[in-house]
Structure 1
Amino acid sequence: MKNLLSIVLLAASLLAYPAHALVKKSNSGICHDEGSRYFDKTKHFTPYQTLADCLNSGGRLPKGYVPKSASEYQPTSNHSSGAHYSRDKFGKGWADVDHDGQDTRQEILIAQNTGNLVFNDKGRVIRGRWVSMYSGNVIVNASEVDIDHIVPLSWAWKHGADKWTQAEREQFANDQRNLVAVEASLNRQKGDKGLDEWLPPTNQQQYTLRFKRIVALYKLTGE
């Protein structure tokens, strides 16, 4: 009788937990329930039974996603979920790291140019030739170029940079290994997304490898 009762209890516990994950927490800490358009695309994850459990573990919702009964899913733990992030946490804009009169944006425009550079009377780059790693498109007007952080600052903040010193964050924000000249439209489309939410139209393998390299270099968590 005792063995039979044990079997019944075991069977009941198995029935209480579905064989598939109801909620997937991606390697970058984003909680996808079955209503998220990224649910099926998320292949590497930690499973949770409820969205609340995932959020309480330190996860966060996909950007712009509002689940059903959203009020039920407010996290109650003290894990960092990107609260209090601001660009100023990584310095006030681009820095002139080597004190040569050119800030980091100008340094990248010069270093990644593949044509003839044109400067204005203040020594700022206004024209050149940049081949976007994200699309392969050629851009000639500097005003149409964004300098993108491959690992976004906000993403880094949520994955460990919130524990860094101000000086360490400013170094990260101006690290040329993490910067690329691309068209503004794709930079805006990417936002602060991690690898599980966004990849460029072209050079996806190169982008992924560079992203992971920076994550490893700075000992950030997740992908």
Structure 2
Amino acid sequence: MLKNYFVVCLIAVSIFFDVHAASGLVKKSKSGICHSQESSYYNRTKNFTAFDSLESCINSGGRLPKGFVAKGDVAAQSASHLKHYTRSQFGSGWSDVDRDCQNSRMEVLVAQSVGPVHFKDSRECSVRSGKWISSFTGETLYEASSIDIDHVIPLKWAWDHGASSWSYEQRVAFANDPANLLSVEASLNRSKGAKGLDEWLPPKNQCQYIARFIRVMKKYPLNVGSKKLDSITSLKNSYCA
């Protein structure tokens, strides 16, 4: 009896996937890649989350396979998605570019600590404590858990000023660029959000913050516009005179 029950279940599952595959099932792999039936990896993707369209898969935080060119309605869905910012368009969190087990957050914590760094384990992958001087307040911070890594130029601000047209690889590089990263109080970083220079400045060291923002802005192909550029120049003149 139990054996017959399992057979019925297997048949039902098989029918479910056959029906949905025929109607355009999109598979989101464990690595977050969205495979429509046009993808060469579609049939090879066995462990996945199912979506009814490529657009809904991408909006969940997924991304297209590298080099994939969408066609027809799929292309329209993908193009529509590119109008909207999501964090996943700058990579899945912090990258470990050099594969040494320390991601970009950890490497910034190590580089910016002014005292010995202590790790959570002997592998030295995750920082537990150190000594950081917040450039936002001048306060000394000792626990890594109380620190956020601030993007001097916020990712959404960059997206709204040209990063939407960059390649995925360019956006990931930007999100993990040490020049754009500061170890600061979590509360202040979160109050800043996606604000630019004309909307938010730290309580202290405003000149240094403005100068760093401008330095990173010049490093990347951002479309700031003459009006906003004048505003930024005015801020620099006011705080760095």
Q: TM-score, normalised by structure 2?
A: 0.57
* % identity of equivalent residues: 52
Counterpart residue number, 1:128: 130
Structure 1's unaligned 5+ residue stretches are: 1-81
Equivalent pairs counted in the alignment come to 143
Counterpart residue number, 2:146: 144
More helix per residue: 1 or 2?
2
Alignment-mate amino acid for residue 90 of structure 2: F
**Which SS does the other structure have where 1:94 is aligned?**
coil
In structure 2, how many angstroms separate the alpha carbons of the residues matched to 1:83 and 1:193? 19
Deviations 1:82-134 (A, max 9, x none): 94100000000000111211100000000000112111125211010011001
Provide the aligned C-alpha RMSD in A: 1.5
Counterpart residue number, 1:218: 220
Write out the 4+ residue segments of structure 1 that deviate beyond 3 Å after TM superposition.
none
The Cα shift of 1:197 comes to: 0.3
Does residue 1:117 correspond to 2:117, yes or no?
Answer: yes
Q: 2:183 aligns with which of 181, 184, 196?
A: 181
In structure 2, how many angstroms separate the alpha carbons of the residues matched to 1:120 and 1:217? 35
In structure 2, how many angstroms separate the alpha carbons of the residues matched to 1:133 and 1:203? 6
In structure 1, how many angstroms separate the alpha carbons of the residues matched to 2:111 and 2:215? 20
Deviations 1:165-206 (A, max 9, x none): 000000000000000000001101110001100000111011
Q: TM-score, normalised by structure 1?
A: 0.62
Alignment-mate amino acid for residue 182 of structure 2: V
Counterpart residue number, 2:89: 89
Is the contact between residue 149 and residue 184 of structure 2 (CA under 8 Å) also seen in structure 1?
A: yes
Is the contact between residue 215 and residue 221 of structure 1 (CA under 8 Å) also seen in structure 2?
A: no
Structure 2's unaligned 5+ residue stretches are: 1-81, 229-241
Alignment-mate amino acid for residue 151 of structure 1: I
In structure 1, how many angstroms separate the alpha carbons of the residues matched to 2:83 and 2:139? 36
In structure 2, how many angstroms separate the alpha carbons of the residues matched to 1:168 and 1:99? 19
The Cα shift of 1:219 comes to: 2.2
Higher relative contact order (CA 8 A, sep 6+): 1
Deviations 1:38-69 (A, max 9, x none): xxxxxxxxxxxxxxxxxxxxxxxxxxxxxxxx
